[in-house]
């Protein structure tokens, strides 16, 4: 297909790809998308994108069912009968056998990836906080409605500003997105939480920055559904622990401890930022934060393990602030090490090269954390270079 030696793809009546597309019109659309992207017909990201577009545009009933049902069997039957529509559906006995077999397989994979009844948590509260802080402090980000860590590329910026119900609204933040094009990522508020839980790794070469979509047992919820599915939701912030979601009408963030929230917002500097939780810290803005908010309620996300955070909260009198901070620092260090192992690409190559040329840094350890001493030295060198 890719080198042009086979030209019978559209009409060969053979099922192909993730959805085993068979009908000529659907295979023709798949081929058009592949050519439009300049990708192989077997490219996974291209097929996933086409599958989502097809569901939302041509099979809206199936799409709505998949987004709302709590029944694995109901979801399996919807895909089988209303999306794939195999020839076997004409024989009632064979149809029932197919439905039972498919539903059993669907349940098997559902249990595998969500942990079934006794669900295993996919992330500790400390890891969630560390990843959120890492994004806020070490990545260029811009706010747009819809994205969950999309790389700020021409393609994804165009997608955010031309497709879907948020497109027109997103145009007001186009300048900020263009300013970090090729160097940063797009998040909305709930997209920050979903992106982290879906495996976001800061990879500029991946369609969603390394994240999946609605994976790890974490559904594609908006901010309201996200707080509604939390455990121990409360308006009393006296017992809040790091890693909990904080919510107000139309907005959600992640409490990371010490009176600080990490949130993606168009306010202040725009993008993923640290803000002061006035519910616990008072009205004075904390150092290292860009603004202050009073949130309405908070709750524990069902995909996060809070056991260590709760122990810290229960035994807080026996732990110093530095000990608590060390736990978060250790998690950040581990995450950065994992990311360096995943990809060696520097997301700010041009800026790093300019800083090396100016003598501000020697360019080593580009992905590592920086101490206050190192930051002070580099800032002074930058000022001297400017002079």
Output the pLDDT for position 364: 76
Among the residue ranges 4-18, 121-135, 311-325, 352-366, the one predicted with the least confidence is 311-325
Angle between helices 321-342 and 125-138 (to 10 degrees): 70
* pLDDT in the model for residue 92: 84
% of the chain at pLDDT higher than 90: 50
Predicted pLDDT at 198: 92
Determine if the pTM surpasses 0.85: no
For 59, 123, 216, 236, 288, the CA distances from 127, given in Å and listed in that order, are 38, 6, 15, 24, 20
Of 195, 241, 188, the C-alpha closest to 214 is 195
Say how many C-beta atoms besides its own lie within 10 A of residue 364's C-beta: 7
Handedness of CA 27, 83, 68, 201 (dihedral sign): negative
Digit-coded pLDDT (tens) for 290-323? 999 999 999 999 999 888 766 655 544 445 556 5
Q: What is the pLDDT of residues 141-183, one digit of tens each?
A: 999 999 999 999 999 999 999 988 899 999 999 999 999 999 9
- Going by the DSSP 8-state scheme, the letter that residue 84 receives in this structure is I
Instruction: Report how far residue 353's alpha carbon sits from residue 355's, in angstroms, rounded to the nearest whole number.
Output: 5
Higher pLDDT, 381 or 156: 156
Q: Count of residues for the chain?
A: 387
Give residue for tokens 């910026």.
Answer: 157
Cα gap 130→373, rounded to integer Å:
21
User: Strand 140-143 and strand 123-124: pairing?
Assistant: unpaired
CB atoms near residue 168 (< 10 Å) = 10
List pLDDT tens digits, range 329-346.
Answer: 666 666 666 655 555 555
Question: What's the burial of 267, exposed, middle or buried (CB within 10 Å: 0-12/13-18/19+)?
Answer: middle
Residue 377, judged by CB atoms within 10 A of its CB (0-12, 13-18, 19+), counts as middle
Residue boundaries of the structural domains of the chain? 24-114, 121-347, 349-386
Residue with structure tokens 């109901």?
Answer: 74
Residue 30 burial (C-beta neighbours within 10 Å; 0-12, 13-18, 19+): buried
- SS3 at position 119: coil
Beta bridge partners of 150: 186
- Rounded Cα–Cα distance for residues 42 and 34 (Å): 9
pLDDT class for 119, splitting at 50, 70, 90? Answer: very low
Please report which residue ranges of 233-371 form alpha helices under DSSP H. Answer: 278-281, 307-314, 321-342, 349-357
Q: Inform me whether the pLDDT recorded for 226 exceeds 60.
A: yes
Mark out the alpha helices in 139-271 (DSSP H runs): 154-162, 167-170, 174-179, 189-197, 223-228
Q: For residue 339, what pLDDT is reported? A: 59
Q: Is the pLDDT of residue 73 over 80?
A: yes
**Residue 224 above 70 pLDDT?**
yes
CA distance 259 to 275: 9
User: Do 312 and 246 touch, CB atoms closer than 8 A?
Assistant: no
Across the chain, what does the average pLDDT equal?
A: 86
């Amino acid at each position: 297909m890719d080198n042009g030696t086979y030209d019978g793809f559209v009409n060969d009546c053979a099922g192909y790809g993730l959805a085993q597309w068979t009908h000529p019109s659907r295979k023709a659309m798949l081929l058009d998308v592949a050519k439009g992207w300049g990708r192989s017909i077997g490219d996974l990201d291209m097929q996933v994108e086409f599958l989502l577009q097809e569901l939302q545009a041509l099979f809206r009933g199936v799409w709505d069912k998949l987004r709302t049902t709590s029944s694995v069997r109901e979801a399996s039957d919807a895909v089988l009968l209303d999306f794939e529509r195999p020839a076997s559906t004409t024989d009632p006995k064979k149809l029932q056998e197919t439905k039972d077999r498919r539903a059993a397989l669907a349940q098997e994979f559902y249990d595998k990836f969500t942990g079934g009844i006794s669900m295993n948590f996919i992330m500790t509260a400390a890891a969630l906080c560390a990843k959120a802080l890492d994004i806020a402090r070490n990545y260029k980000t811009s706010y747009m409605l819809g994205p969950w860590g999309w790389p700020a590329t021409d393609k994804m910026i165009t997608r955010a500003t031309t497709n879907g119900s948020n497109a027109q609204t997103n145009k007001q933040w186009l300048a900020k997105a263009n300013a970090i094009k090729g160097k940063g990522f797009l998040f909305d508020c709930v997209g920050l939480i979903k992106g982290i839980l879906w495996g976001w790794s800061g990879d500029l070469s991946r369609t969603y920055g390394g994240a999946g979509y609605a994976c790890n047992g974490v559904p594609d919820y908006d901010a309201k559904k996200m707080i509604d599915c939390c455990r121990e939701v409360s308006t009393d912030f006296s017992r809040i622990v790091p890693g909990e979601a904080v919510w107000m009408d139309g907005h959600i963030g992640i409490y990371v401890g010490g009176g600080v929230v990490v949130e993606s917002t168009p306010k202040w500097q725009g993008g993923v930022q640290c803000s002061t939780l006035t519910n616990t810290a008072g009205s004075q803005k904390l150092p290292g934060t860009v603004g202050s908010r009073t949130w309405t309620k908070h709750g524990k996300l069902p995909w996060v393990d809070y056991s260590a955070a709760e122990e810290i909260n229960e035994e807080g009198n026996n732990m110093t602030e530095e000990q608590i901070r060390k736990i978060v620092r250790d998690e950040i260090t581990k995450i950065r090490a994992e990311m360096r192992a995943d990809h060696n690409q520097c997301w700010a190559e041009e800026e790093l090269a300019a800083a090396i040329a100016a003598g501000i840094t020697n360019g080593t350890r580009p992905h590592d954390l920086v101490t206050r001493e190192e930051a002070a030295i580099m800032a002074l060198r930058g000022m001297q270079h400017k002079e």
